[in-house]
Amino acid sequence: MATDIEFETANRRALAQQAAFPAVASVRYDRRVARIIIVLASGLELAFSPKQAEGLEHARPIDLADIEITPSGLGIHFPKLDADLYLPALLEGFLGSRRWMAAQMGKKGGTVSTKQKAAAARENGKKGGRPKKVKKVGTA
């Protein structure tokens, strides 16, 4: 159970975050350009594709039609997807957890073709390519 000191410390941290970042004034999904548009109290607008954000990458437009601003003003919530995005992280360029972001970068890296990869693939091809997977037959 949290103590009064822990509550007070948490409240001070929250107030510091609110002072450091402008709150979300409005948020909407623009179906025409397939972007989530966030307008901050400072007047700055942020726009990004839902495909770039963890929890939204497979969302349909109907799932993105309803977006709520969190009570602190520092986050947005997608009720139909039970997904949340935190404004300070968005402003730092993070559209998901570190693990998710690393996985996204890994996917892109694996699809990049370089001269070295092409040469390695040709060499492996001369050797017969990847070995076939052997299926193990279970014994009963």
Residue 17 inside a domain? The answer is: no
Rounded Cα distance between 37 and 46, Å, is 6
Cβ–Cβ under 8 Å, residues 38 and 45: yes
The residue that leads in pLDDT, 43 or 119, is: 43
Residue 120 inside a domain? The answer is: no
Residue 88 inside a domain? The answer is: yes
β-sheet with 75-78: strand ranges across: 68-69, 75-78, 83-86
In tens, the pLDDT along 9-56 reads: 877 776 666 556 788 999 999 999 999 999 998 898 989 999 988 889
Residue 91 inside a domain? The answer is: yes
Q: Among the listed ranges 44-48, 63-67, 113-117, which one has the minimum average pLDDT value?
A: 113-117
Query: Domain holding 67: CATH number?
Result: 3.30.2020.40
Residue 11 inside a domain? The answer is: no
What pLDDT, on a 0 to 100 scale, did the predictor assign at position 132? 75
**Residue 80's domain spans which residues?**
22-107
Residue 92 inside a domain? The answer is: yes
Residue 117: is its pLDDT beyond 90?
no
Reported as a pLDDT band with limits 50, 70 and 90, residue 89 is confident
What pLDDT, on a 0 to 100 scale, did the predictor assign at position 66? 95
Q: What is the mean pLDDT of the chain?
A: 80
Residue 35 inside a domain? The answer is: yes
Residue 33 inside a domain? The answer is: yes
Q: Among the listed ranges 21-25, 60-64, 69-73, 115-119, which one has the minimum average pLDDT value?
A: 115-119
Number of domains in the chain: 1
